[in-house]
Structures are given as structure tokens and as C-alpha cells.
């Protein structure tokens, strides 16, 4: 009986030992697999680090080259600017020397520019800002010595010619107008210096009216008058500038009575 019990105990101990050995072997295998997996992950990370390091070095090198190129370009531009300024100063000196003895022309040019500016501002409101700015440019260039008095006189004469041409010109143009307190870019149909009609992107039409010394843009709503203006714009768009046109009473002087 005792022998049977001992045999059972020994069998149990052997089973436990085998089970422990089996578990130990499985645990070791899992550990080895984990270590191999970690090693693979580490190698992958190391490879990524090397690739990123190489990419960053390449980018830094590229940025450094770009920085060098930009510095060189800035230096070239700076040198070119200095040369241009030096050439401009030399030209101004030549102009000043050439203009010696002709100082009596300048006051006449200045007066002519002033009179023409007043005429433009008081006339039909067609491209007033641009036309006045061109006169101011002549005066500014003359004062700064960029052009001679003779050149300024020639440009002033050309401006007078242009003003005379505008008084006779019939055509379709674009300019900013003030309508209902808002500035909009509109099409304008100019009939010499006596009438000017407008058409806005929102299909509002009308004409310029002068009251006293002030010009206003009058919006019209009469369907008949609207059609007349639309027909005029259509004809001018088609380059038709001669023929019979029925238009609203839009003489710029009508409101000054």
C-alpha cells in the first residue's frame, strides 16, 4: 500500500516536472520571439533614422545653396540699383546743364499745366484722375530735373492736343463712377464733351448731369430711355459711331440753368 502511494507521488512529481519543463520551454520560445521582434523593430527604426538624417542633410544643403544664391542675387540687385542711381544722377546733371539759359520757359510750362488741370477738372468727368495725374507727373519730373523745360513744354503741348481730341471723341470706355454714394467700375459712352452715359455691372444705366459746377451720375428708370441708352452701348460695342441715334436729353449743361 505504501509502495503504491510512493509510486503515485513519484508519478505526480514527474508530471509536474515535465509540465514545468514544457512551460519553461514555451516561455523561453516566446521570449526569444519577442527579442527577435524587438530587434527587427530597432533595426527598422535605425534605418528610418538614417534615412531621415540623410534627407535632412540634403535639405539643409539645398537650403544653404538657396541662401547663397539669394544673397548673391541681393548683392547683384543692390549693385544694379546703385549703378542706376548713379546713372540717373548723371542724367539729371546733363539735363540741368542743357536747360541752363532756358529758365524762362519753366514758369510758362507750369502755368499751362495749371490751366489745363483746371480745365480737365471743370470739364466732363472723363478719366479725370488719370489725366490730372499725367499732368502732375510732368510737373514733378520738371521740378526734380528729370526732364528739361523744353521736354516738359512738348509733353504739355501733347496733353493739350489730347484734351482737344477727347472733346471730339465718341467711344465706349471703362472708368470708376460714384453712383448712390458708392464707387463702381462702369462702362461709359462718351459723346464728345457734351454727353456721357453709363452702364453698371448691375445693369443700372443713366447719364452725367451738371448742376452748377458739380457733375452727378443720374440713374434713370424710364423703360424707353433705358432702351435708348442700351441701344447706344450696343452700337458703340459694334464700332458703329455714325448714324441716327435717339437719346435721352442728357446734355451736361442742362442742369446749370
Query: What digits encode the pLDDT tens for the residues 138-168?
Result: 999 988 888 888 889 899 999 999 998 888 8
Averaged pLDDT for residues 76-90: 66
Confidence of residue 76 (pLDDT cuts 50, 70, 90): confident
Confidence of residue 91 (pLDDT cuts 50, 70, 90): low
**Mean pLDDT score of the chain:** 78
Asked if 213 and 159 sit in the same domain, the reply is no
Asked if 51 and 35 sit in the same domain, the reply is yes
Averaged pLDDT for residues 8-29: 54
Widest distance between CA atoms in the chain: 149
- Last-in-domain residue among 167, 184, 199: 167
pLDDT given for residue 175 in this prediction: 92
pLDDT given for residue 171 in this prediction: 87
pLDDT given for residue 10 in this prediction: 47
Asked if 125 and 155 sit in the same domain, the reply is yes
Confidence of residue 253 (pLDDT cuts 50, 70, 90): low
Percent of the chain whose pLDDT exceeds 90:
21
Asked if 1 and 65 sit in the same domain, the reply is yes
Within-domain flag for 14:
yes
Residue span of the structural domain in which 123 resides? 105-167
Asked if 50 and 22 sit in the same domain, the reply is yes
Asked if 161 and 174 sit in the same domain, the reply is no
Asked if 53 and 63 sit in the same domain, the reply is yes
pLDDT given for residue 127 in this prediction: 92
DSSP 8-65: HHHHHHHHHHHHHHHHHHHHHHHHHHHHHHHHHHHHHHHHHHHHHHHHHHHHHHHHHH
In whole angstroms, what is the distance from residue 174 CA to residue 160 CA? 22
Within-domain flag for 70:
yes
pLDDT given for residue 87 in this prediction: 61
Within-domain flag for 99:
no
Q: For residue 229, what is its C-alpha cell?
A: 441708352
Q: For residue 232, what is its C-alpha cell?
A: 447706344
Asked if 70 and 118 sit in the same domain, the reply is no
Query: What one-character DSSP code corresponds to residue 257?
Result: -
Percent of the chain whose pLDDT exceeds 70:
72
For the chain, the domain total comes to 3
- Residue 191 vs residue 42, higher pLDDT: 191
In whole angstroms, what is the distance from residue 246 CA to residue 108 CA? 44
Whether the per-residue pLDDT at 116 is higher than 70: the answer is yes
- Last-in-domain residue among 73, 94, 115: 94
pLDDT given for residue 187 in this prediction: 93
Within-domain flag for 100:
no
Amino acid at each position: 500500500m505504501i509502495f503504491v502511494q510512493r509510486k503515485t507521488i513519484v508519478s505526480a512529481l514527474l508530471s509536474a516536472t515535465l509540465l514545468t519543463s514544457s512551460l519553461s520551454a514555451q516561455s523561453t520560445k516566446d521570449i526569444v520571439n519577442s527579442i527577435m521582434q524587438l530587434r527587427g523593430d530597432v533595426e527598422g527604426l535605425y534605418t528610418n533614422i538614417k534615412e531621415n538624417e540623410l534627407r535632412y542633410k540634403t535639405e539643409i544643403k539645398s537650403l544653404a545653396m538657396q541662401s547663397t544664391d539669394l544673397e548673391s542675387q541681393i548683392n547683384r540687385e543692390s549693385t544694379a540699383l546703385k549703378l542706376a542711381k548713379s546713372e540717373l544722377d548723371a542724367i539729371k546733371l546733363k539735363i540741368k546743364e542743357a536747360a541752363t539759359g532756358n529758365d524762362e520757359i519753366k514758369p510758362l510750362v507750369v502755368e499751362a499745366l495749371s490751366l489745363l488741370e483746371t480745365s480737365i477738372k471743370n470739364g466732363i468727368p472723363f478719366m479725370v484722375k488719370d489725366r490730372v495725374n499725367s499732368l502732375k507727373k510732368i510737373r514733378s519730373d520738371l521740378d526734380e530735373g528729370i526732364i528739361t523745360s523744353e521736354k516738359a513744354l512738348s509733353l504739355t503741348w501733347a496733353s493739350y492736343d489730347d484734351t482737344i481730341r477727347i472733346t471730339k471723341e465718341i467711344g465706349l470706355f471703362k472708368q470708376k463712377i460714384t453712383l448712390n454714394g458708392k464707387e463702381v467700375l462702369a462702362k461709359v459712352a462718351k459723346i464728345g464733351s457734351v454727353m456721357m452715359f453709363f452702364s453698371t455691372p448691375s445693369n443700372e444705366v443713366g447719364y452725367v448731369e451738371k448742376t452748377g459746377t458739380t457733375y452727378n451720375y443720374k440713374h434713370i428708370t424710364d423703360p424707353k430711355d433705358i432702351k435708348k441708352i442700351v441701344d447706344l452701348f450696343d452700337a458703340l460695342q459694334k464700332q458703329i459711331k455714325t448714324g441716327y441715334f435717339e437719346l435721352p436729353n442728357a446734355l451736361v449743361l442742362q442742369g446749370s440753368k
